[in-house]
Structure 1
Amino acid sequence: MIRFLLLVISISFSALTFAQQKQFTMDDAVLGLGTNLAREDIKQLNWIPGENAFTRTVKTSKDEAIVRFMVPSMAADTLLRLSEVQNTAGKKYPLRSMPALEWLSTNVASFSIGNHYFLCQRSKTGMEVKEWMQLPDEAENIHIENTTRRFAYTKANNLFMVDAEGRTHTVTKDADPGILNGKSVHRDEFGIDGGIFFSPRGNYLAFYRMDQRMVENYPLINWNVTPASVHFTKYPFAGRTSHEVTLGVYNPSDGKIVFLETGTPKDHYLTCVTWSPDEKFIFVAILNREQNHLWLNQYNAQTGAFVKTLFEETDAKYVHPQHSLTFIPGKSDQFIWWSQRDGFMHLYRYNTSGKLLNQITKGPWVVTEIAGKSEKKKTLLITTTKDSPLDRHIYSVNWENGKMQRVDTDPGTHLAAVNNNGDYIIDRWSNGTAPRVIDVISASGSWKKNLLTAKDPLAGYQRPKIENVTVKAEDGTPLYGKLIYPVNFDQDRKYPVIVYLYNGPNVQIISNTFPASGNLWYEYMAQHGYIIFTMDGRGSSNRGTKFEQATFRNLGTVEMEDQLKGVDYLKSLPFVDAARIGVHGWSYGGFMTTSLMLRHPGVFKCAVAGGPVMDWKMYEVMYTERYMDTPQENPEGYENANLLTKVKNLKGKLLLIHGTIDSTVVWQHSINFLKECVDNRVQVDYFVYPGYEHNVRGRDRVHLMQKITDYFDQNL
């Protein structure tokens, strides 16, 4: 009997040990955090406009419901059940779960299934669901104006509006496909993510009009048909002809459009588009093509006439506007302006005469978001890097005296959703050990209610040790990175290393989030005997302009110096095999990877570069000219960064990967590189993903990461 019990205990212990030692599959490593290993979450967690209340989806044994919770009492009542939605929308569409609701006002919400929209009207007993609007199947960039219940959308290259009575207004009628209306412009630079701007009360519709007929055609080939077909896109190369953008204002009452008199040269950039609260004016930050001079201009929305320049900003390297104006609640003549003029992204309060009233935030850190505001307390709710460049914390700041108070209490990366009056915050956060926590907190920080503390979806898996690392750049600047150890680490062994990098502008890859590694593929590789090292060097984001502008006019130089400091650190570790170091990156990281192999040959044994820029003269105007000036102005910088002229330097193994319809880093970059390899009798490995643009996503990404893994297995 004792022997039997010992056997049972032994088997149970072995089973437990096995469960704890479970390894990731490649599917887990690539797709797991979005599928079988996804963190617990709360669906449809949204504030109700005008109430200290939020809604969320709650599942019951028979149904799913939208439930309202009053704050701070947390009293709950059911507003809408899935069965009620199915009674209306289910007649045309099969619904197995509650569609996503968007609150239009305190008592009205909407949801859509495709381009079919439904209204949900609150009553004393719940919500009544009714059909609302059916937009054309081809409608894109759909915007709903909450007050007037008007819709705006684009179809092909034109803009349309549907009024509350259901009448469709054809706003623009441009026959030439080279003119785009109502769409994002300037290739989504400058924080631009759309081209439709309803006025605050919904009476007018402003929109971008981009004329790109003068821009060169660039062919993208569709290989899915026989013979293959060609689609031409407009691609403005650095130093060459760019597009011209204007801003139109449509008045639905008379059907007329006026265009703002934004002047010349016409290839300047129109950014930070903002309506005045009274709908009389539109503010536009005009940035010259050189991107070193900005004018914040005011225009008459009725006539399009230029009114005045409120102020100007200049910088010897570049000005980088990314945010529209935020008007002070109850003050139609005061607004918040974002600027890096003191070396860090901070907030400034101006009046509409152009007078600076005060700098609201200040210090060697950056503001990353304005999440909400309180008119009563004269405060903004913001997220910042004040405590650490690796964290994001929520602060309340008085817009008159700059007094700041941290609202959250836990280390990590916090995302704030603030209710209308600025009294309460839904705080979503995580850190290296907390997968996801959702709290409701008061803006004063005096009250908190936990809604979710997610279980660790990776519990039971074989996890590596992860160590935060700080490396010093040549000038003494601290650079933050992560060292991921092989599982079952043996300090007496020598391990191969994979350096993963990006190190380009506007991106930060090292942060205090879950999982601590930052990527399950890193952990997969650690399970298979690799050390992974990743680090943000100078040129990357959220460290101030001195840090970010260190690469100006010489992309791929200072960043490589920093990454090589990381390699020096790796080589100082007794368990690193200095003869077996590989490097991998995508996009700017692909450029960095290829640069390291050609400009510092012999450091890395092998490399995988995805979607790499090979010659900055073949990249787009807005991004490239900001960081490099034009090829005509900076020929030496472009030549130093040109990888097509350095093919002969290659030592070690290099795999290049590219999507065949990449309209960001066009396929010609790697095709030209291959031609140089052939001409110089240099062997290189190459793989393309047919039909993919700049990134390989979905199920096919598993194939991509397996190919990359196999390459390192074969060569490291």
Structure 2
Amino acid sequence: MKKLISFLFICTFILGYSQQKELSIEDAVLGYYKGLYPSSLSNLQWIENTSNYAFKKENELIFTNAKTNKVVSNLSFEALKKVYPEIKRLPYLQEISATDFTFQNGSSIEVYNYVSKSKSTSIHFDENAKNTEYNSKAKAIAYTIDNNLFIANAANPKIVVTEIEDKNIVSGQAIHRSEFGIYKGTFWSPKGNYLAFYQKDESNVADYPLVDINTYPASLKNIKYPMAGQGSEIAKIGIFNLATQSTTYLDIDTSDEHYLTNLSWTPDEKFVLVAEINRGQNHVWYNRYSVETGKKVNTLFEETSDKWTEPEFDAVFLPKSTTNFLWFSERDGFMNLYQYTSEGKLVKQLTKFDWVVTGILGFDALAKNVFITGTGADARESHTFKVNLKSGKYTKLTSTNGTHRTQLSTNGNYLIDSYSNLTTPNSIEIVETKKGKSTLVYNAENPLKEYNLGTTEFVTLKGTDGTDLYSRVIKPANFDASKKYPVLIYVYGGPHAQMNTNSWLGGASLWMTAFSTLEDYIIFTLDNRGSANRGFAFESIIHRNLGDAEIEDQLTGVDYLKSLSYVDSSRIAVNGWSYGGFMTTSLMLRNPGMFTTAVAGGPVIDWKYYEVMYGERYMDTPQENPEGYEKTKVANYIKNLDGKMLIIHGSVDPVVVPQHSMTLLQEAVKQKTQIDFFTYPMHEHNVRGVDRAHLVKKMLDYIVENNK
């Protein structure tokens, strides 16, 4: 074997050999609805400005003190129903204070005083509303209908923010196809006096035709889809003043189609901070704008890169400061925190980790420490740390190896820590942040204990450049090292994703564990260079040449598999979706004879057909990088097909549009190459719901039938 293999650790996840219950593919795919995923405490969250937390249990809301771990009160469904007779179950809590909690009840936001057991506030809004965002300071809710933005409060259910007839101009929704950390389009000011919002003009964006087959006859449904190198959207930021009920816009010229993101308010509501990124995505200007005039006050700093710049986080202001904030940046190679002033002065680099900071939870009461999340030394994990704002010294607060999801109490004294790893389905602890003491409050049982399933192991391989490549091996129950097993390689491989995590099932879907035992397969997954949480150099190696480094690393995995005495190296199949579909088809066609079978779902076939924001970040434009686009074009390699390949696509996929698969089929016909194709009518980028069981069974049946 050409490549050195090193084992970081091997964790064995034993699901039980003594029971003989068989886990079907359908049950595995629909496992969440069948109780096959670990249980937890429902709607668990801190009560604002207290050391109490709340969660739903059956038909009660339970309030517990974190210090004593004693239940201090509860609220029954029956008590709530007396005030809201129309409700049928305990609602999901949006937020909760020492006296009130907020929930959505149909087309209204309700604020209920659970101390006096009475209704505090009721805000009704249009039943067609989408993108709702409630603000307790304003006692109002922002929402959209079609392309316009509205606000509702207790006095008025429909305050007009925008009233634009041109459907090309969309207000109050996520822009830039939700890249750059964007996940919404409205931003309430800290005191609730203003609402900032994104607006996009898509007049320059081409229509893309999708067909609704459920009408008689079928009908056209156009979507706006900006393809790489073509016209993109024009972004604006509006500010609505609730007192004057007037809208103004920040004075930003985006006629060059540059991006606006990471919108943040200063605590005094006088300024808005905006990250502006050129369309080439290699230059960021972080600018401050006056709310009163809409004019730019200053540029706080700039960041440039010869590959790409991608700010994804809003500014987080220090408590009791209107000027000093923390900013996330990868400028030193890893996502770290920097403290700036709103005048643009760099106070300090707060963290200097050689691992990735992933979020800020909050601060302690005296504002001496900030609490952050990050991978820690092992990129497969997620932990919480306390960092001293003055010295930068830090303390790890989550001690157990694994993937931790934490919530910080308002005063910073406690964490709710929910975590899992290969051997722990789900545990919840309360952690004292000063002393680090933890108290177990919930421990989920293994939901798969009655099933005869195999093991999951982590393996670390060495890439050709010496890079550690984290991998996962799933073995069937009753594994016998003297036998020869076929292999299914499951691949994603693209940016912003990580397949292997030290969590329950190791990050794998339950169908993989089931399939391994049902069909006596080895399931292998490797996170290649380009994937997430390993730092900028690891991720950005793919720039302008998508597929090259990723394929090289996946082939390192293939070499490893072939070195194992129990692997049948003549029976290796590959499967993936989306970027994983691009990887699956590229691996199959650019390495003929290595795989017997490939199943690719929603595959990117030609990057010029993918969206501007994502595609141009990694490939530049087709005009700037024609060689790169031509090399990555999967259809160029269709004549190399040696084996069986199935392409699957949702008929109304708005993400990887059907044109990708169609062009591959067209070239296959031209080259007289036989491939297989299946479409899921009226499904989008992922096949969801009960139809997903059909999808997974189709993929796996094809693999079993042809991987011979």
Confirm or deny a common fold (TM above 0.5). yes
1 or 2 for the larger relative contact order (CA 8 Å, sep ≥6)? 2
Runs (4+) off by over 6 Å = none
Which of 559, 575, 585 is the equivalent residue of 1:584? 575
* Distance change (3 Å), C-alpha of 1:179 and 1:293: same
Q: Which residue identity lines up with residue 85 of structure 1 in the other structure?
A: L
Q: Which residue identity lines up with residue 77 of structure 1 in the other structure?
A: V
Match of 1:120?
112
Which of 594, 614, 638 is the equivalent residue of 1:647? 638
Match of 2:146?
156
| SS of 1:552 mapped into structure 2 | coil
Is residue 499–residue 583 contact of structure 1 (8 Å, CA) maintained in 2? yes
1:111 deviates by 1.4
Alpha-carbon distance in 2 for matches of 1:289, 1:107: 48
1:634 deviates by 0.5
Alpha-carbon distance in 2 for matches of 1:250, 1:466: 53
Match of 1:47?
46
Match of 1:171?
161
Is residue 372–residue 417 contact of structure 1 (8 Å, CA) maintained in 2? no
Is residue 595–residue 643 contact of structure 2 (8 Å, CA) maintained in 1? yes
Alpha-carbon distance in 2 for matches of 1:138, 1:163: 16
CA displacement 1:257-296 (0-9 Å, x = unmatched): 1111122444100011000000000000000000000000
Q: Which residue identity lines up with residue 677 of structure 1 in the other structure?
A: A
Which of 622, 627, 643 is the equivalent residue of 1:636? 627
Identity over aligned residues, as a percent? 43
Which of 565, 583, 598 is the equivalent residue of 1:574? 565
Is residue 80–residue 117 contact of structure 2 (8 Å, CA) maintained in 1? no
Two-structure CA RMSD over aligned residues (Å): 1.5
Indicate whether 1:484 and 2:483 are aligned. no
CA displacement 1:157-182 (0-9 Å, x = unmatched): 10001234235311101101111000
| SS of 1:503 mapped into structure 2 | coil
Match of 2:690?
699
Match of 1:297?
287
Alpha-carbon distance in 2 for matches of 1:701, 1:122: 41
| SS of 1:541 mapped into structure 2 | coil
Match of 1:67?
62
Is residue 123–residue 154 contact of structure 2 (8 Å, CA) maintained in 1? no
* Distance change (3 Å), C-alpha of 1:104 and 1:282: farther
Alpha-carbon distance in 1 for matches of 2:666, 2:57: 58
* Distance change (3 Å), C-alpha of 1:504 and 1:445: farther
Is residue 204–residue 232 contact of structure 2 (8 Å, CA) maintained in 1? yes
Match of 2:7?
none
After alignment, is 67-76 or 351-360 more displaced? 67-76
* Distance change (3 Å), C-alpha of 1:524 and 1:318: same
Match of 1:437?
427
Indicate whether 1:353 and 2:343 are aligned. yes
Match of 1:558?
549
Indicate whether 1:103 and 2:98 are aligned. no
Instruction: Give the alignment of 1:388-427 within 5 angstroms.
Output: 388-427=378-417
Match of 1:24?
23
1:696 deviates by 0.5
Match of 1:664?
655
Which of 299, 304, 322 is the equivalent residue of 1:314? 304
Is residue 28–residue 36 contact of structure 1 (8 Å, CA) maintained in 2? no
Alpha-carbon distance in 1 for matches of 2:224, 2:43: 38
Which of 606, 612, 617 is the equivalent residue of 1:626? 617
| SS of 1:471 mapped into structure 2 | strand
Q: Which residue identity lines up with residue 180 of structure 1 in the other structure?
A: V
* Distance change (3 Å), C-alpha of 1:18 and 1:207: closer
1:33 deviates by 3.7
1:569 deviates by 0.5
After alignment, is 588-597 or 469-478 more displaced? 469-478
1:71 deviates by 2.6
Is residue 125–residue 158 contact of structure 2 (8 Å, CA) maintained in 1? no
Instruction: Give the alignment of 1:165-564 within 5 angstroms.
Output: 165-166=155-156, 168-516=158-506, 518-527=508-517, 528-564=519-555
Is residue 84–residue 129 contact of structure 1 (8 Å, CA) maintained in 2? no
Could you tell me the TM-score, scaled by structure 1's length? Answer: 0.94
Is residue 258–residue 302 contact of structure 1 (8 Å, CA) maintained in 2? no
1:79 deviates by 4.4
Alpha-carbon distance in 2 for matches of 1:559, 1:567: 13
Indicate whether 1:610 and 2:601 are aligned. yes
Match of 2:12?
none
1:34 deviates by 4.4
Is residue 500–residue 506 contact of structure 2 (8 Å, CA) maintained in 1? no
Q: Which residue identity lines up with residue 506 of structure 2 in the other structure?
A: A
Q: Which residue identity lines up with residue 50 of structure 2 in the other structure?
A: E
Is residue 283–residue 297 contact of structure 1 (8 Å, CA) maintained in 2? yes
Is residue 418–residue 429 contact of structure 2 (8 Å, CA) maintained in 1? yes
Alpha-carbon distance in 2 for matches of 1:446, 1:219: 56
Alpha-carbon distance in 1 for matches of 2:134, 2:480: 59
Match of 2:3?
none
| SS of 1:83 mapped into structure 2 | helix
1:533 deviates by 0.5
| SS of 2:516 mapped into structure 1 | helix
Is residue 349–residue 399 contact of structure 1 (8 Å, CA) maintained in 2? no
After alignment, is 391-400 or 109-118 more displaced? 109-118
CA displacement 1:295-334 (0-9 Å, x = unmatched): 0000001221111000000011000110000000111110
CA displacement 1:679-710 (0-9 Å, x = unmatched): 11100011000011000011100000100111
Q: Which residue identity lines up with residue 22 of structure 1 in the other structure?
A: K
1:89 deviates by 2.4
